[in-house]
Structure 1
Amino acid sequence: MKAPFLLLLVFIPAFGQGQVGASSGEQMMSLTGEAQGTTYHIKYRDERKRSFQKEMDSLLADIDKSLSIYRPDSEISQFNRSMSHRFMSPHFYAVLKKSAEVFRDTKGAFDPTVLPLVEAYGFGPTKRPKGAFVNVDSLLQYVGFQYISFDSVSVVKQKANIRLDFNSIAQGYSVDQVAALLEAQNIHQYMVEIGGEVRTKGQKNDGQPWAIGIENPLHPAKLQTKLTLTNRAMTTAGNYRNRYEANGQVFSHIINPKTGEMEQSSLLSVTVFAEDAITADGYDTAFFVMGLEAVKQFLITRKDMDVYILYSDDAGRLKTFSTNGLKNL
């Protein structure tokens, strides 16, 4: 699964293991752990004080076994080695279906077949020497979600050597699945965070909304702003953590699937707010590739999402853009 290359979200108050007291006199369950190559923090109010850690760990392991390109035995790895695959779990189809939506709506700015380029630039499970020459033209022939066809039963490649990588969307899906697990237990006050992707419902025990901090990309140890998050999800894409420098060039994990080139725009981080985490997670990287002006135009007709974008001007100063839906948060 996606490595924790971004930790743009700082949760207030700090997490702990077990039960945490609240000003109302009630207690909130707080669970922390590791899964999918990152960490998770989950808080929820349950009058019965039940712990669902085993169930959550099992669920996250099942998703990992389906969608992780770092596991040779996963469903997605099996498909990447073949021309077709019959779904073994509901996770593959669910994420594939959402990926098709985001690919279509962003006109290819989000494309989960970008794995050959990701690996060529030194990211992903297959490590290449840092700074090695990348023949973009030769690799672009193996990038194109239009070569993938699927239904609710199976997925097929229309062209050999096309491979899928859900790292830029699967963690948001995992957040939603943990939230669904809690709601199935009649829990309606919670905060779920996995690898920096977060979703909340209801309020904390003291009647206050969940407070979320967004990191300053020019000073990563500091917060740029704090927002409240109620009955919504938020995820962030950025290019200033998962990167390296070689031969005088900066290599970033965010790659434009249309050109095959690493993004070198003025954008530093894009945080997307949506009803569910898979939507936010799917669009955050696409928005990064699209650029500020294209995102502004896109969101004119997409009132279901908000964005908070941090970018640098020509003088290197940090600038912000946020949609109207965030003004009161």
Structure 2
Amino acid sequence: MTPAAFAARVAGAAIQSFTGETMGTDWSLHAVSAPAGTAAGVQAALDLVVAQMSQWEPDSDLSRFNHAPAGEWHRAPPEFFHVVAAAIDLAKVSGGAFDVAIGEWTERWGFGSAGPVDNLPGVLASPARGEIEIDAATSSIRRSNGAMLDLSGIAKGYGADLAAEWLLSQGVRHFLIEVGGELRGEGIRPDGQPWWVDVEMPPTSSIPSWRIALHDLSVATSGNYRRGLILDDRHYSHSFDPRTGRPIVNGVSSVTVLHRNCMMADGWATALTVLGPEAAIAIADAQGLAASMVVGDREFTSRAWREMLG
């Protein structure tokens, strides 16, 4: 179908807006011709993610898994298993820059369910820690000693995907959904335009913001200026380097990634933040990722990102 014919099908339709709360943040939806019950359906999809994958909810599947004895296999709900499997694949492809087994470290540094800490955690003798394993045949997962599951680097993006897939199943073809800053756009606006969004730049950067057309596309940004920890008059990033067990110190302010799936955009933005500019752009080029990284007042872009500009 041509863009003109596509636009004609929704021309004159109204854009309806919905909002809600989830995962300690807000969600919003702008949709064309949304049926009754749309807000409740989106909220239910996001509530499912919280119920399965939140480390702050003591009764979530993730929390119960983390507090069960190590070494035991646990059958996981399909959504939970899907995200864990995707995260483990991402860890392999990123060379360990993304790792879901760092829950113990995020807790020690005050970014987990226990809340902020008043003192620097003790230095770990070794960055080595346990692993999360999966069994695809039985949709089961298990952890070894020293491993605690943390899906905070990928769950919001998956929440946007799960809500988007529910909307598509209800016949809603044209919408923009946002969950805590991660966005997925499907179809077009009634005026034939795509869903335009502006990428937030770090407040200390003078680099102009990008405006991106989300037509069947997702975008996620990992910004180290948003969250962090101040101890002994020093700011520590909330982004962890799994290879050291400590917050990153590579000077990266933000990373933005475009991907068809919001979960993968979210996860890759987290991984590239850890890698730093040279390694991040190299792996983004190797993976065909459209990515932009801000380090101070310098911007680094991948080949796929530059090709989209043309």
**TM-score normalised by length of structure 2:** 0.88
> Whole-Å Cα distance in 2 between the matches of residues 194 and 49 of structure 1?
20
1:299–1:128 CA distance, 2 compared to 1 (3 A): closer
Aligned 8 A contact 2:55 2:62 in 1: yes
* Of 152, 157, 182, the match for 1:172: 157
> Whole-Å Cα distance in 2 between the matches of residues 229 and 128 of structure 1?
36
Q: Which position in structure 1 is the counterpart of 2:6?
A: none
Shift of 1:237: 0.9
Q: Which position in structure 1 is the counterpart of 2:45?
A: 59
Q: Which position in structure 1 is the counterpart of 2:188?
A: 203
1:221–1:166 CA distance, 2 compared to 1 (3 A): farther
Residue 135 of structure 1 pairs with residue 123 of structure 2: yes
Alpha-carbon displacement from aligned partner over 1:178-212 (angstroms, at most 9, x marks no partner): 11011112222111110001111111111111111
* Of 268, 272, 279, the match for 1:287: 272
Residue 323 of structure 1 pairs with residue 309 of structure 2: no
> Whole-Å Cα distance in 2 between the matches of residues 223 and 160 of structure 1?
46
> Whole-Å Cα distance in 2 between the matches of residues 93 and 241 of structure 1?
29
> Whole-Å Cα distance in 1 between the matches of residues 189 and 291 of structure 2?
24
Shift of 1:264: 1.1
Aligned 8 A contact 2:281 2:301 in 1: no
- After alignment, is 216-225 or 273-282 more displaced? 216-225
Aligned length: 296
Residue 307 of structure 1 pairs with residue 266 of structure 2: no
* Of 35, 40, 47, the match for 2:22: 35
Alpha-carbon displacement from aligned partner over 1:250-281 (angstroms, at most 9, x marks no partner): 12111101111211112100011111011111
SS in 2 for 1:235: strand
SS in 2 for 1:301: helix
> Whole-Å Cα distance in 2 between the matches of residues 164 and 250 of structure 1?
25
Aligned 8 A contact 1:99 1:112 in 2: yes
SS in 1 for 2:120: coil
Q: Percent sequence identity over matched residues?
A: 26
Residue 50 of structure 1 pairs with residue 39 of structure 2: no
1:220–1:37 CA distance, 2 compared to 1 (3 A): farther
Aligned 8 A contact 2:153 2:267 in 1: yes
SS in 2 for 1:186: coil
Aligned 8 A contact 1:215 1:221 in 2: no
Residue 26 of structure 1 pairs with residue 10 of structure 2: no
SS in 1 for 2:210: strand
**Which residue identity is paired with 1:249?**
R
1:326–1:162 CA distance, 2 compared to 1 (3 A): closer
> Whole-Å Cα distance in 1 between the matches of residues 77 and 105 of structure 2?
28
SS in 1 for 2:199: strand
> Whole-Å Cα distance in 2 between the matches of residues 301 and 241 of structure 1?
29
Q: Which position in structure 2 is the counterpart of 1:75?
A: 61
> Whole-Å Cα distance in 1 between the matches of residues 49 and 192 of structure 2?
33
> Whole-Å Cα distance in 2 between the matches of residues 217 and 49 of structure 1?
37
Residue 89 of structure 1 pairs with residue 73 of structure 2: no
Alpha-carbon displacement from aligned partner over 1:133-161 (angstroms, at most 9, x marks no partner): 332226x44x343x52333431122x224
More helix by share: 2
Q: Which position in structure 2 is the counterpart of 1:187?
A: 172
